[in-house]
Structure 1
Amino acid sequence: MTEPLLPVPLYLGPQLPRWQPATAADVQRAIDSGAITERHWLDVKLNTKTSTDGNNKEIAADLASFANDGGALIYGVSEDKAAKTFTIAPFDLSGQAERIDEVARSRCDPPLYVACHPLPASSDDCSQGLLLVEIPPSPSAPHMVDGRYYGRGDTTKRRLTDGEVARLHAVRTMRHLTAEQLIEREITRDPIPADGRDTSHVYVVARPLAAPPDLLTETIERRTLGTVVLGFHSRLGNHASPNWGHLSSQQPRAQGWGVHSHVLTGRRLNQNDKSAETAMVDLEIGDDGSLSLVCGRGSDYAGDSGQQYILDAVATLFTRGVVELAGQLGRDHGYGGRWLIAVGLTDLEGKHSAAAFRNMFGEGLVPFSADRYIEATEAVTSELLAQPGAVTRRLVRRLLRGLGTTGQSYGQLLTDPRPGG
């Protein structure tokens, strides 16, 4: 079982410090200080009630209402509405985190990521306590529960109007346009000019949306990031070539730090042949925590056929690594906010997945029907840490669908352990 993660410092509202409770006593101190009150970003409940259809629907609606802006629910707090006072009321935590997670995934449409944090009532008995449910802002908001969309008012959930739903969908569209601009920038910055590329190229970018501009400056100057990046090879394995083990060289860059394969120096190829293009991997890490990766082997020739195949395993492997690296950097440097992550591939039209070459009949596999693939999502640091597979799946699922493949040979890159597993 993995160690439970503390919640990211929670935003309770303007003029209030961020809050990171670890025990029921921390909640009691917040009550005593007046920080705990129902507001747009926080709600309290006495307990989760019994697992009936009606109660689970109510929980799902509560969770969905926070997904637009982010927030937290605390189960195990009694409220005297007349007196406007709160009292902690520890309850049996057995199975409750798993139940909330299941409700968020099965009763919200699309499924909603939440992070459950048991807050024990005492160090001697962890079975009784409070349950803090952290609901980060969702890249898929708004979320529907039984045909209705929910949001938060000042202190309670409410149904969203059609206009509010349309506005939220418009915001999602604008974020996708921003991601396309990020990918276009990386295509322009590619070490190989457009007229010199022979294969499909893979681009993965991650941008922290509210990090200070010097988030990683001290770490960059200590020159330790190359070691961090190399650690991903042992974790993610040899599902494709090139892989994270090929990022074996490092050097300072104008925008931060570079970690790259041997065919590059200063983000320029130091040899000019086909083998250099397919061995090219470059990861640039910015002072603000931004990540920009390019790989020259998004496709390659197979056998003597003269036909190129799309290496979806390469794209998935580097996407998963960037997702995990962003989460690790956020955790290690105290940034718990949103990340915008985007994936792009070029020169795809008419090419099959590499799985078609391995399958002599090519059954169920189709040529990709567009020249480029671009997909983006948002996630907060806690989701990147807890569910990197789910985030990776959001980013590559349309690619795999368009190729008619399920990615069976690298399926673990798209999955996560179940809570408590």
Structure 2
Amino acid sequence: MREHHWIDVKLEVGGSEGAKKEFARDVASFANDGGLLVIGVAEDKANRAFSMASVPLVGLPEQVDQILRSRCDPPLFVQCHPIEDPANPGSGVLLVEVPPSPLAPHMVDGRYHGRGDTTKHALSDAEVVRLFERRSARQVVTRALIDVEIARDPVPPDRGIEARLYAAVRATAAPPELLTEHLMGHEIDRLVRARAEGPGWKYWRLLSEDEPRAAGRGWHTYGLNSRELWLDHDKVRTAADLEVSDNGSLALFVSRLSFEKRVGDGKQKFLHDGDAVAVVRGLAELVGSLGTTYGYQGQWQLAVGMTPLAKVVSADVGVAWVDSPEDVLRYSAEDFVSGTTATTAECREQPGAVTRRLMYRLVRALGTADRRVELFA
């Protein structure tokens, strides 16, 4: 064993302020490209040798999580894997798995950090710029993914002006036949329909029909066979369609997330933004379930878009604002597009954090962020 760009060892985390800062810097340096930190290993630098030095495991993963939440900006998600020493029950080695972070670089104590071949270092201005440019490039891909889904919208825009939600999810390193042998089985159907018991349940319940498709398998509202609208739009009050492909990619469409109401002398469009956030939370949970069940632990790229949104008001506001319409927040753009990356583990264990990265900017603009705290938790 030896230290690399992607692996480092530590004897312990340490309880002093200095030790906690140093640990946070170590982990943040891995977040740019991913890596592994092993706690409970002693290093003999002179002889370039390593040896077991078991540490108490009880409470250690919680300590790691608390340090990274409080000292990394933005907070950093990791996975902790305790390995107990058979000769010393309760003690052993802790593997801290650090996936590449969509929010990298992460600041610790006012500085950004990266990894060389075997050591960490403070990032130069050029390196910081490169990482932020990589994050911006991800948004370009996000926009392209959503544009594809908008073009596939099964309900023509001339048959309704209500807000619609589009989502696209890609497994970035999955084999092309990740789900081929499982797509038509009962277990994947159970995972999809289980969303009807969680956030956004009333929209997931719209996926009452399912069918094989060229891309894989589709779950859809009655009347949306083959992702085409076969009924009059008036007979399909709200439409939803989920498509899961052989390689694990997902595409979700939900219509009628807004409604118009007469207010005073005119009409105002109201957006069910809480429902939209709940649907996205359910999608993040589904991604975690699919990856866990079918053995894909890598990264996913998630993209969400909504349109048309110009001048919508949150449905939470109601019509109580008639007396002071100038105080109401209306959405100031035609559409909303957002994207992020996340591992299977993060979607499974922290779907609220993934949802927040995707949807916070929308609800902030509508003034309802404080009402979505539970969905972001």
- Taking structure 2 as the reference length, what is the TM-score of the superposition? 0.94
Partner of 2:299: 338
CA contact (8 A) 2:309 2:335 kept: yes
Hey, what's the Cα distance between the residues in 1 that align with 2:153 and 2:87? 54
Partner of 2:20: 56
> CA offset at residue 122 of structure 1?
2.6
1:259 match: secondary structure: strand
Hey, what's the Cα distance between the residues in 2 that align with 1:93 and 1:157? 26
1:122 counterpart = 2:86: yes
Hey, what's the Cα distance between the residues in 1 that align with 2:295 and 2:315? 40
- Aligned CA distance change for structure 1 residues 327 and 358 (closer, same or farther; 3 Å): farther
Match of 2:272 among 292, 295, 311: 311
Match of 2:356 among 388, 393, 397: 393
Hey, what's the Cα distance between the residues in 1 that align with 2:199 and 2:310? 29
CA contact (8 A) 1:263 1:279 kept: no
Alignment of 1:289-308 (within 5 A): 289-302=248-261, 306-308=267-269
> CA offset at residue 284 of structure 1?
0.5
Hey, what's the Cα distance between the residues in 1 that align with 2:320 and 2:30? 46
Q: CA RMSD in A?
A: 2.0
1:164 counterpart = 2:124: no
> CA offset at residue 380 of structure 1?
1.1
CA contact (8 A) 2:203 2:254 kept: no
Hey, what's the Cα distance between the residues in 1 that align with 2:286 and 2:319? 31
Alignment of 1:252-263 (within 5 A): 252-263=212-223
**1:266 is matched by which residue type in structure 2?**
S
Alignment of 1:93-242 (within 5 A): 93-122=57-86, 125=89, 127-222=90-185, 224-236=187-199, 238=201, 242=202
1:113 match: secondary structure: coil
- Aligned CA distance change for structure 1 residues 358 and 73 (closer, same or farther; 3 Å): farther
CA contact (8 A) 1:353 1:365 kept: no
Hey, what's the Cα distance between the residues in 2 that align with 1:407 and 1:162? 35
2:22 match: secondary structure: helix
Deviates more, 1:78-87 or 1:338-347: 78-87
2:316 match: secondary structure: helix
1:414 counterpart = 2:376: yes
CA displacement 1:379-416 (0-9 Å, x = unmatched): 111111111111001110000000011262x543221x
1:285 match: secondary structure: strand
Hey, what's the Cα distance between the residues in 2 that align with 1:120 and 1:164? 38
Hey, what's the Cα distance between the residues in 2 that align with 1:270 and 1:288? 28
Partner of 1:85: 49
CA displacement 1:140-194 (0-9 Å, x = unmatched): 1111111211111111111111111111111111111001000010000000123
Hey, what's the Cα distance between the residues in 1 that align with 2:199 and 2:164? 20
CA contact (8 A) 2:68 2:76 kept: yes
Match of 1:245 among 198, 205, 210: 205
4+ runs of 1 displaced by more than 4 Å?
Answer: 302-306, 358-365
> CA offset at residue 270 of structure 1?
2.3
Hey, what's the Cα distance between the residues in 1 that align with 2:290 and 2:162? 31
Unaligned 5+ residue runs, structure 1?
1-35, 416-421
- Aligned CA distance change for structure 1 residues 253 and 407 (closer, same or farther; 3 Å): farther
- Aligned CA distance change for structure 1 residues 246 and 411 (closer, same or farther; 3 Å): farther
Alignment of 1:9-20 (within 5 A): none
1:118 match: secondary structure: strand
Hey, what's the Cα distance between the residues in 2 that align with 1:373 and 1:106? 30
- Aligned CA distance change for structure 1 residues 349 and 237 (closer, same or farther; 3 Å): closer
CA displacement 1:306-337 (0-9 Å, x = unmatched): 43211112211221111111111111222111
1:326 counterpart = 2:291: no
> CA offset at residue 365 of structure 1?
4.4
CA displacement 1:250-293 (0-9 Å, x = unmatched): 001111110112231111122113351x4100000011100100
Hey, what's the Cα distance between the residues in 1 that align with 2:347 and 2:105? 20
Hey, what's the Cα distance between the residues in 2 that align with 1:306 and 1:275? 23
CA contact (8 A) 1:291 1:322 kept: no
- Aligned CA distance change for structure 1 residues 313 and 123 (closer, same or farther; 3 Å): farther
CA displacement 1:199-245 (0-9 Å, x = unmatched): 0100111111111111110111436433221111113364xxx4212
- Taking structure 1 as the reference length, what is the TM-score of the superposition? 0.84
Give percent identity, aligned residues only. Answer: 44
Deviates more, 1:347-356 or 1:307-316: 307-316
Unaligned 5+ residue runs, structure 2?
none
CA contact (8 A) 2:200 2:282 kept: no
Hey, what's the Cα distance between the residues in 1 that align with 2:14 and 2:317? 51
Hey, what's the Cα distance between the residues in 1 that align with 2:69 and 2:193? 33
1:236 match: secondary structure: coil
2:94 match: secondary structure: strand
Partner of 2:6: 41
Hey, what's the Cα distance between the residues in 2 that align with 1:359 and 1:203? 30
CA contact (8 A) 1:243 1:317 kept: no
CA contact (8 A) 2:191 2:290 kept: no
**2:61 is matched by which residue type in structure 1?**
A
**1:214 is matched by which residue type in structure 2?**
E
What is the aligned length?
Answer: 373
